[in-house]
Chains A and B, each alone.
Chain A
Amino acid sequence: MSDLLAARSQMAVSLAFHIIFAVIGIAMPVLMVLAERRWQRTRDPVYLDLAKRWARGTAILFAVGAVSGTVLSFELGLLWPRFMALAGPVIGMPFSLEGFAFFTEAIFLGVYLYGWEKVSPRAHLLAGVLVALSGAASGIFVVIANAWMNTPTGFTLANGSFSSIDPIAAMGTPAAFPQTLHMTLAAYAATGLGVAGIHAFMLLRNRTSAFHRAALTIGLVVGTPAAVLQPISGDIAARYVARRQPVKLAAMEALYETRAGAPITIGPGIKIPYALSLLAFHDPRAVVQGLDAVPRDEWPNVPLVHAAFDLMVVLGTYMALVGLWAGWLAWRKRDVATRRRFLWALVIAAPSGFLAVEAGWMVTELGRQPWIIFGVLKTADAVTPMPGLIVPFATITLLYCALGVIVAVLLYRQIVRSPQT
């Protein structure tokens, strides 16, 4: 394994691990606050139990997310020092703002978790709201920094260094809006349907539990709207990619030759005529740039990017359909908790969102290769000169595998298991 590949693998493992905790950390506080609000209004103890269990889950996940996020902030330099030396002054701004948002989140999570008896009910609920808001804000800031790597703006490049740096223009990078929208919706959809799916599974075994019924409902309230809106944001994102990173789009769709009226390729040999031109430019005759437009050594890993993209689309479509089904049942005032087929559909949706998030990040990160800053700096030129990078890669991987297992066991014990009383 080359040092470059080891560094990329370590970054991939660190991000793939952290993103699960980040996504849950963004959305879980919303569920927790909704449950507490229901309890304050109805005084039904089931909701208090839920809010407290979800708060405990958030505490465990937030802690692991905080430390794995710290690892990433160092790894930017440990693995890609030349990238940070060049890009730090341009995109340090969203990272600094993320630092403050994260700080606010940590402070009010402390108040929320340990303050049940110490602050007024209203202050307690407000602390939860602040956790949810600052969680969303920190996610958005980090994604802006990533968007800049896809569509770098706010500098002039000359002789390998930047001049006329404008950090505000860098934050307004064209990819910022579509990426942050897509990612934020993904967090709510994955977590909401994830929670709903887990409790759907418990309801299939124990139909009368008011606890699982309440949890299912709140999970659906958060997850369904996001899942239904996600295809629209995906369309916006894809059209930005078509204009700004045509190579990435070509890899996503495995389009080797530039052509008008481009089809979509699904699996080997199945093509839908004109569909790609229609999706990318809303015009069936539009010319879509293929991989042939750039030299072979500037291609990303096409089979991997294409497969990850298709996986994301399939999972996202499935979740949107489940979301529509839930909306339909709610509109017809049907009791979702007793519909076996719907509950099974939710059980399948539970891991789908997280798989889609991982697949989506593979698309955006692998699709940008071989560039770390698209069109400006190659990943191979940014890597640290330190040899033997397979050692930290293996260490971090083992560490995260062990942590993942422990977190899963703890979460099951703390949250999912039916109340004993």
Chain B
Amino acid sequence: MPSLPDTLAGVILAALTAYVLLGGADFGGGVWDLLASGPRKARQRDLIAHAIGPVWEANHVWLILAIVLLFTCFPRAFATMAVGLHVPLTLMLIGIVLRGSAFVFQSYGGGGGRVFATASLVTPVLLGICVGAVASGTVWFGVRDGTFVTSFIRSWFTPFGFAVGIFTLACFAFLAAVYLTLEAKDTELQEDFRLRAIAAGAAVFAMAVLGLAVFPQAPPVDEGVVALTGAAALAAFWSLWRRRYKRARIAAAAQVTLIVWGWGIAQYPSLLPPDLTIAGAAAPRVTLELALIAVVAGAIVLFPSLYYLMRVFKGNRALEAP
């Protein structure tokens, strides 16, 4: 039985995983909007807008949930991140505001398509940069060594940070392309996104291999998790190749989930390396207990509602290869 702080840290990582799998794919949709090309350019963009429209706000709330649970259950970790990562977090917020509002303006005839696509490109990179800084243990509360640059820039403005940022973007684009093969209502569009999914998947794979080789100082990732992630990636490729899109969706989601949890397992029991552990940063027990009760009660309302939303809009309308 995991301890109470570990359980809640797991809940927060699960919320973050849901954000990556769902909200991340919405950002990925923006990337494919930007890269729309070929004879079906307009139809590609149309498909993306229709796929994102009903669900993006619900998908976005996973991030809010992760943040409020983080500051309720691990207030010191939240405060430290908010100070040390003030600059990239603020930039990420601007990206979130621009992406969300430009998308809705575009949907209601106000233009803003380029802003939507560009913000979709930048925001995931900043999210990845923040994750990279947390993982490499460079985030501090307060002024270190006196200068602005050493305290508030150097912690995240690193080759490793940018590598994680670009990798995050590639993962989001990969997820979006795989999901869009199931959203497409005709085979031509489906083929467009199949090829994009294969290309993005290859990029994710190459970056992962390269990253493990170039950044040995990064937190050591569990070998079993690496093997499982590789297996999921191969399953996703094979399913895409054989045009088994539902299977590809499951494999791609599993692959990205394993990447997120691989990060979590690698830095366990640290919450914010090097000093803050999950147990050390945890709020008093009564707060954690109540937060867990709220999570369970919330889940009882949330999951049937989410299932309903997905069933209404993401039901079996897609083409499946014979």
**Overall SS of chain B's interface:** helix
Chain B positions 207 through 221: 1 when the CB is less than 8 Å from some CB of chain A, otherwise 0? 000000000000000
Task: Please measure, in the bound complex, the distance between the C-alpha atom of A403 and the C-alpha atom of B96, giving whole angstroms.
Answer: 13
Q: Which residues of A contact B100 (CB under 8 A)?
A: 63-64, 66-67
B104 pairs with A60, CB closer than 8 A: yes
In contact, B312 and A111 (Cβ under 8 angstroms) = yes
* A79-87, A217-225, A304-312: which lies at the interface: A79-87
Flag if B305 contacts A165 (CB, 8 Å): no
Contact A92-B72, Cβ < 8 Å, known A74-B82, A78-B82, A385-B83: yes
Question: Chain B nearest CB: distance from A254 CB in Å?
Answer: 37
- CB-based contact A84/B78 at 8 Å: yes
CB of A419 within 8 Å of the partner chain: no
Q: If A63-B57, A63-B104, A88-B78 touch, does A104 touch B301 (CB 8 Å cutoff)?
A: yes
With A92-B71, A114-B313, A406-B110 as contacts: A109 and B101 at CB distance below 8 Å? no
- Do the beta carbons of B57 and A106 come within 8 Å of each other? yes
Any B CB within 8 A of the CB of A99: yes
Bound Cα distance from A115 to B305, whole angstroms:
14
Contact B109 A410 (CB under 8 A): yes
Task: Name the CB-closest residue of B to A81.
Answer: B79
| Complex Cα–Cα for A88 and B284 (A) | 11
Query: Per-residue CB proximity of B296-322 to A under 8 Å, as 1/0?
Result: 011001100110110011000000000
Measured between beta carbons, the chain B residues less than 8 angstroms from A113 are 53-54
B283 contacts A92, C-beta separation under 8 Å: yes
Q: Would you call A74 and B89 a contact (CB within 8 A)?
A: yes
- Measured between beta carbons, the chain B residues less than 8 angstroms from A100 are 65, 294, 297-298, 301-302
A302 to chain B, nearest CB (A): 32
User: B231: CB under 8 A from chain A?
Assistant: no
CB-CB under 8 A from A98, the residues of chain B are: 68
| Residue of B with least CB distance to A85 | B79
Say whether chain A's binding surface is mostly helix, strand, loop, or mixed: helix
- Residues of chain B with a CB closer than 8 A to A102's CB: 61, 64
Given contacts A77-B79, A166-B286, A414-B108, contact A99 B306 (CB under 8 A): no
In the complex, how many residue pairs between chain A and chain B have their CB atoms under 8 Å apart?
215
Q: Are B93 and A74 in contact (CB under 8 A)?
A: yes
Q: Is B55 an interface residue (CB 8 A)?
A: yes
Q: A73 to B68, Cβ gap below 8 A?
A: yes
Once bound together, how far apart are the Cα atoms of A77 and B81, in whole Å?
Answer: 8
A-side contacts of B53, CB under 8 Å: 113-114
Complex interface bits, A92-123 against B, C-beta within 8 A gives 1, otherwise 0: 11011111101110111111011100110000
Interface centre among A56, A59, A74 (most CB of B within 10 A): A74
With a CB–CB cut-off of 8 A, which chain A residues contact B108? Answer: 56, 59-60, 410, 414
Can you list 20 A-B contacts with CB-CB less than 8 angstroms, sorted by A residue number? A64-B104, A70-B60, A74-B82, A77-B71, A93-B72, A97-B294, A100-B298, A100-B301, A104-B302, A111-B54, A111-B308, A113-B54, A118-B312, A165-B283, A167-B287, A385-B141, A392-B90, A396-B94, A406-B110, A413-B110
Binding site for A on B (CB under 8 A): 53-55, 57-58, 60-61, 63-65, 67-69, 71-73, 75-76, 78-83, 86, 89-90, 93-94, 96-101, 103-105, 107-110, 112, 141-143, 148, 151-152, 283-284, 286-287, 290-291, 294-295, 297-298, 301-302, 305-306, 308-309, 312-313
Closest 10 CB pairs of A and B: A92-B72, A77-B82, A88-B75, A89-B283, A100-B298, A81-B79, A63-B104, A85-B79, A114-B54, A67-B100
Given A108-B305, A118-B313, 12 further pairs, Cβ under 8 A: A67-B60, A67-B96, A71-B97, A78-B90, A84-B78, A93-B294, A100-B298, A104-B305, A107-B306, A385-B142, A387-B148, A399-B97
